[in-house]
Amino acid sequence: MTTSARGLPWLRIAVGVYCAALAGSTVVRLADDGQQPQPEDGETVEVPSPDGEGTLRIAWREAPFPHEETPPLLLLHGSPGSAANFDGLMSQSITRRIIAPDLPGFGASDHRVADYSSRGHADSTLELLDRLDIERFHVLGFSMGGAVALHLADQAPDRVASVILMSSIGVQELELLGDYRVNHGLHGLQLGLFWAVRNLVPHFGALDMAVARSYARNFYDTDQRPLRGILESLEAPVFIIHGAQDPLVPAAAAREHHRIVPHSELWMRPDSHFFLFRGGEHLAARIEDFLSRVEAGEAPTRADAEPERLRQAALPFDDLDLPPFTGPALLIVFLLLVFAAYISEDLTCITAGLLVAQGRLDFPVAVAACYVGILSSDLGIAWLARVLGRPALRVPPFKWWVSDASIEEASAWLRRRALVVVLVSRFLPGTRLPTCLAAGILRTSLLRFCCYFALAVAIWTPAFVGVNAVLGREAVERFGGRLPGGLLGAALALALVIFTVRGVVVPLFTWRGRRLWRGRLLRIRHWEFWPMWVFYPPLAVYILWRSLRRGSLTAFTAINPAMPLGGLFGESKSDILDGLAGIGEALPAWRRLPTGRPEEPVQGR
């Protein structure tokens, strides 16, 4: 019995156990799915759902104050979070009524929500305030809650007395990786991961992670692109509180918000993102002072902005002056570079070099990410070839990129001078993949070749990333603002230059490289070497044009009348010549080779 046959029953048993466990887990999970969290304190109210389908239960807390003639302060938590995040702040002496709701999907509010976006949360919050008969209010948004606060100010500007942004997200350019499509894709991957853990892992409710799902949906549904326009049009007084060491929302975001809101006040604290949770009388006192000045008409509005700040606010955002990646963004960029190296190490190093040139990545971090990605991909290819052997050459994508001849050549060199071959393959275009495959197929010493590959990558990666950083600095400064896509345009332009040098200029210094390029140019000159997708489309257009001129779209099928469907498909030159046998001496002499063995004599006519 073969190994695969012996292993098959065990595989079936394992799959059966998994399916049974998953079915049981799903039953338990669905039984608990209808249970909603109940508020330990505070109150709840039913409000219409933003999509108009049914209602939502909103839980909220309140810190009442006897003098209710002043507008209350609305506190909006971040994601993930709840109204309980403000317990420390609510316990301080802020002399006004305070209302803190659990936003839909969080805390004790309904978790079955159609729209988790910050705009949808703003709609639900306005419904809550209507139910509580609150017409005018101050709003404080923490982290993601800042986006909800901005949407409230945009949707109901006459009702918002002032806006306080605390560790708040805002402009799209300074959120995570900056680009909406890239960020949206990453949030989609995160959401998919939570879905897979919840639905494909038999956990019997232990990994339901309702808060994690709400957090992932919140960021996936939220579009931060409109927030810049909202900030630029704010009329109400604005107080921005941010931590200078915030790893989640960079301090540069707060400074940009302060710039484009020319009447705003900025308090940059020597803290991280989470100073809210420590409470503190000083924080409450600064907030109360701002609110009191707003009530007294002493806090500046847009009409009070200084001319110089108005001029600065009107300047466009400079996408070449972005802060370094920190916190989760740095981790994501590191992992993206690692996995990108599996696809194209050259483009990955070019991108890393440009990020260094732009000041978004430190050089050691960029080199480390590229090093991990390149080394792990090289060793992975060698290991796969070691396991599969020669059949690895017939597995996509290797069969598309590597020929048997290149493997034989690499194998011969490896047997003689392994270290030199591995080192040279890092710098000579087209030799890296055959070298990795040959090392695996030959089943060379794994430890020895790990050391060889590690040494080669350690020499090549810093050099290539460094060259791209130097060239990229000039490219970004000179062309980054004018090329389509900014940094992406600079990356593509630099990639074109480097690929041209490596693929064209460097080979021209060798006899073999010159002969190869001569052959390529000759094949371009002679149409019989052109690929079908180049040769036939113009011909098809020409035939169509001639058919339209003759008034018959089937005229081309009569090109070779001596054979069925002549000129359409299945054309045979010998059949055509057989059909023309009666025309006499006008037909030149010809021979047909039989389909038998090559050494058999040919028939002549």
DSSP alpha helix (H) spans, 170-280:
180-200, 210-221, 227-233, 251-260
Q: Is 99 a domain residue? A: yes
**Cα 110 to Cα 22, 39, 60, distances in angstroms:** 27, 11, 12
Domain that holds residue 106: 43-314
Banded model confidence at residue 42, pLDDT cuts 50, 70, 90: low
Quote the crossing angle between the two packed helices 432-441 and 363-388, to the nearest 10°.
40
Task: Find where tokens 């480390």 sit.
Answer: 368
Please indicate, yes or no, whether residues 381 and 349 belong to a single structural domain of this protein. Answer: yes
CB 483 within 8 Å of CB 489: yes
pLDDT score, position 312: 94
CB 448 within 8 Å of CB 418: yes
Reduced to 3 states (helix: H, G, I; strand: E, B; else coil), residue 596 is coil
Please indicate, yes or no, whether residues 351 and 463 belong to a single structural domain of this protein. Answer: yes
Tally the domains of the chain: 3
Per residue in 233-259, pLDDT tens?
Answer: 999 999 999 999 998 999 999 999 999
d(CA 480, CA 492): 11
Sheet holding 73-76, edge to edge: 43-48, 55-63, 98-101, 73-76, 137-142, 160-166, 238-243, 265-269
- The residue among 479 and 126 whose pLDDT is bigger is 126
Please indicate, yes or no, whether residues 552 and 464 belong to a single structural domain of this protein. Answer: no
Banded model confidence at residue 154, pLDDT cuts 50, 70, 90: very high
**Cα 103 to Cα 116, 143, 159, 238, distances in angstroms:** 9, 13, 19, 22
pLDDT score, position 406: 61
The residue type at 389: G
Q: Is 184 a domain residue? A: yes
DSSP category for residue 501: I
Please indicate, yes or no, whether residues 240 and 357 belong to a single structural domain of this protein. Answer: no
Please indicate, yes or no, whether residues 560 and 414 belong to a single structural domain of this protein. Answer: no
Count the Cβ atoms, other than its own, within 10 Å of residue 2.
7
CATH of the domain at 178: 3.40.50.1820
**Phi, psi of 170, deg, nearest 5:** -170, -110
d(CA 422, CA 268): 52
pLDDT score, position 489: 57
Q: What's the whole-number average pLDDT of the chain?
A: 81
Per residue in 277-303, pLDDT tens?
Answer: 886 788 999 999 999 999 999 999 999
d(CA 358, CA 348): 15
β-bridge partners, 242? 268
Count the Cβ atoms, other than its own, within 10 Å of residue 38.
8
CB 180 within 8 Å of CB 224: yes
Sign of CA dihedral 395, 401, 403, 409: negative
Q: Is 21 a domain residue? A: no
Please indicate, yes or no, whether residues 546 and 462 belong to a single structural domain of this protein. Answer: no
- The residue among 237 and 474 whose pLDDT is bigger is 237
Please indicate, yes or no, whether residues 335 and 308 belong to a single structural domain of this protein. Answer: no
Please indicate, yes or no, whether residues 226 and 303 belong to a single structural domain of this protein. Answer: yes
Q: Nearest-CA neighbor of 512 among 406, 401, 403?
A: 406
